[in-house]
Amino acid sequence: MQAIQVEGLTKRYGDVLAVDNITFTADTGDTIGLLGGNGAGKTTTIAMLLGLLVPTSGRITVLGHDMGKDRFAALSRMNFSSPYVALPHRLTVRENLEVYGHLYSVPKLERRIQVLIAELDLGAFINRPAGQLSAGQKTRVALAKALINHPEVLLLDEPTASLDPDTADMVRSWLERYRDESGCTILLASHNMAEVERLCSHVLMLKQGRIVDRGSPDDLLLRYGRKDLEDVFLDIARDRRQAAEVAA
């Protein structure tokens, strides 16, 4: 079953085409990677999927709900995390989780918070203001907020940006576990190629708002004759696709 369907999605700001007629689908349980340089259209695509931005044209369906007409029905079953969108920093971690638990009408909220405290190891700082946490702790809290409602679709914008390798690895492991246990569909925008290779079943390569290539990480590596996605990314970013394919 398709959890996300995107058809002909376009976003134009005046003369600037931020997202140019992109189409893709994500099946339930898939992890789709959105890869691309700065300004490639990753964040704009995610913002449209969340209903934060109205597309210029195209259609988005999430969990069977048309986001143009019925976005709130889908939003209660999705969630989102980004290091660029903060949680109220004067509220404690627990208060933040309580606020979002109420906003998502989570049943048995206290129990859910206890589970997240245990699974994401938040206990040591659960009563500390969010603004006083380290980057790694903030990321874990942001992830707890994103999982508060057991999302069926999870949108992650650079979830491990600015994390040390150890914390980043912990976050990735946790995401893998959550996806495997819950069957959640994840859309992941990232600059971290190793992360994409590890987590994603399918990758969309974006450049100047367009999908310029797509496939599983293995497919892309094979097609470009490269050993890691970073080289594939550079081939695409620097328009070396043809040369790379010929070499392959």
Query: Could you tell me the strand order of the sheet in which 2-13 lies?
Result: 16-27, 2-13, 57-62, 65-66
- Phi-psi domain of 102 (left: phi exceeds 0; alpha: psi -120 through 50; beta: other): alpha
Task: Indicate the residue among 85 and 222 with the shorter CB distance to another protein.
Answer: 85
Site for another protein in 62-91 (CB under 8 A): 72, 75-76, 78, 80, 82, 85-91
Site for another protein in 101-160 (CB under 8 A): 101-105, 145
SS3 category, 101? helix
Name the minimum Å distance from CB 245 to another protein. Answer: 36
Residue 38 found at the interface with another protein (CB under 8 A): no
Question: Which of 98, 119, 169, 230 forms a contact with another protein (CB under 8 A)?
Answer: 98
Pairing of strands 78-81, 153-157: parallel
Name the minimum Å distance from CB 85 to another protein. Answer: 4
Q: Where are the beta strands (DSSP E) in the chain?
A: 2-13, 16-27, 31-36, 57-62, 65-66, 78-81, 153-157, 185-190, 202-207, 210-215
Task: Indicate the residue among 77 and 214 with the shorter CB distance to another protein.
Answer: 77
Of 51-59, 120-128, 187-195, 236-244, which part binds another protein (CB under 8 A)?
A: 51-59
Q: How many residues bind another protein (CB under 8 A)?
A: 33
Pairing of strands 57-62, 2-13: antiparallel
Name the minimum Å distance from CB 29 to another protein. Answer: 22
The DSSP-derived string for 150-193 is --SEEEEESTTTT--HHHHHHHHHHHHHHHHHH--EEEEEES-H
Question: Which of 29, 37, 39, 51 forms a contact with another protein (CB under 8 A)?
Answer: 51
Of 22-30, 99-107, 169-177, 192-200, which part binds another protein (CB under 8 A)?
A: 99-107
Q: What is the binding site for another protein (CB under 8 A)? A: 13, 43-44, 47, 50-54, 72, 75-76, 78, 80, 82, 85-92, 95, 98-105, 145
